[in-house]
Amino acid sequence: MSLYRIKEIFYSLQGEGFHTGRAAVFIRFSGCNLWSGSEYDRVSAQCPFCDTDFTDTDGNNGGEYDASQLAETALSLWPNSKRPFVVCTGGEPLLQMDGQLIAALRGCVIAVETNGTVPAPPGIDWLTVSPKAGTTLRQTSGSELKLVYPQNGMDISQYEGFAFEHFFLQPVDSPKYPNAVMEAVEHCLANPKWRLSLQVHKLAGIK
């Protein structure tokens, strides 16, 4: 029986990308293949701008779960009888997600947010891929491609031919955030294939 290491499970609004503003249950998986999550080696991480705590299992509803326990806990946070929208995120959720868990969540709309370095298993309803500079992209299709922008050494035109329904630029959260916003806006205006994604949950002061 597989056990999944979970940092936290919580109910909030999606703050990024196509589903911005939509109520969702978030399952944050512990661990990532691009960074340890420890500040001491952030400089050498492949995504040093990461703004998420995904280490250990000590968050709200965190722990080790089997598939049925994880699905039951997530569904217990959904407020009504409508089909739950469940966002599996991280860290990197595809290091742990498998067919057993997808089957346990089958009554939900299953969304996954991944860095694209691990191929996605079948059965995911909404797949968001957020590539990082210097990595090998193994998932080149999905629902939306969401690039943190700008990233050193990244030519974003290389992604435009991939099979995604939507393309988003999300300004990197850094001390130079206003400059990143303007760069993203200018690129979206010059290349209408791309749309702007802002982290609305931060603007609203919610998790």
* From 8, 16, 19, 47, active-site residue: 47
Torsion of CA 132, 184, 171, 206, to 10 degrees: -130
Active site annotation includes 47: yes
Active site annotation includes 188: no
The token pair at 75 is 């569904």
Distance of CA 98 to the CA centre of its chain: 17
* From 8, 16, 113, 144, active-site residue: 113
* From 8, 16, 19, 26, active-site residue: 26
Active site annotation includes 201: yes
Q: Yes or no: say if 95 and 118 are a contact pair by the CB < 8 Å rule.
A: yes
Active site annotation includes 186: no
Contacts of 82 (CB under 8 A, 6+ apart): none
The token pair at 171 is 């300004």
The secondary structure element, H or E, covering residue 149 is: strand 141-149
Active site annotation includes 32: yes
* From 8, 19, 29, 50, active-site residue: 50
* From 8, 19, 32, 54, active-site residue: 32
* From 52, 55, 135, 140, active-site residue: 52
Active site annotation includes 187: no
Distance of CA 169 to the CA centre of its chain: 14
Active site annotation includes 85: no
The C-alpha atoms of residue 138 and residue 15 are separated, in whole angstroms, by 25
Catalytic sites, residue numbers? 26, 32, 47, 50-52, 113, 201
